[in-house]
Amino acid sequence: MGIFNFKPTSTADIEKKQERAAYLKDAQNKACELFREIVRDLLRPGITKKSIKSEIHTLGFERHGVRTNWHKQTVRSSPHTLLPYKENPSECIIQEDDILFVDLGTVFEAWEADFGRTSVFGDDPAKKKLRDTLEPIWDAVKARYVQNPDMTGEQLFDTACEKARKVVSSFGGKHSRHVVGNFPHEP
């Protein structure tokens, strides 16, 4: 039974669903705090992606008790930001006028918070516009799902593409579809 099609049939099922939701919300809140610290303290031009990953690991372990991740840490800078998850692009140094995407599958206690954020260095208005439209697109897609929780994964993906195309000229999210389950990113 998938997490999205779980239909509670008893008081115990409802309580279980509420407890699960509370743990996931707590993991999400912890991920938000972790990302605030990552953006404030770690992300900067002149550093390699490998160094950022190492610093994120140390920060998560020392300040938040993170012992494991659900999937590999992904740190991508332009032009690698549109590469699929499975790609492992060459090492590079974050530039003064760069865009950077960080995706973490951090596990807090036993609950995973698959969380990503985009940062922009410099004053490029196109990069800033892209960064600033991502969360509103996410909110719009989520709202559509809340209106129709029985939609298929394909319908949800099509909704995301529709919303994204209204803002950007091309959508490169080829890896945006994966099975929901244990480690669906990994082969």
Instruction: Give me the phi and psi of 74, to 5 degrees please.
Output: -115, 120
User: What's the pTM?
Assistant: 0.78
Q: Are 145 and 113 in contact (CB under 8 A)?
A: no
Tell me: the pLDDT tens digits for 122-160? 999 989 988 999 889 989 999 999 999 899 988 988 898
pLDDT at 2: 40
Check whether domain 11-165 has CATH 3.90.230.10, yes or no: yes
Tell me: the pLDDT tens digits for 10-19? 888 888 888 9
Hey, where are the domains in the chain?
A: 11-165
The average confidence (pLDDT) of the chain is: 84
Tell me: the pLDDT tens digits for 39-90? 999 999 999 999 999 999 999 999 998 888 888 888 999 888 878 778 889 9
pLDDT at 6: 54
CB count in 10 Å sphere of residue 58: 12
Q: Which of 89, 105, 127 is nearest to 56 (CA)?
A: 105
**CA–CA gap between residue 154 and residue 110 (Å, rounded):** 29
* Burial of 180: CB neighbours in 10 Å, binned 0-12, 13-18, 19+: exposed
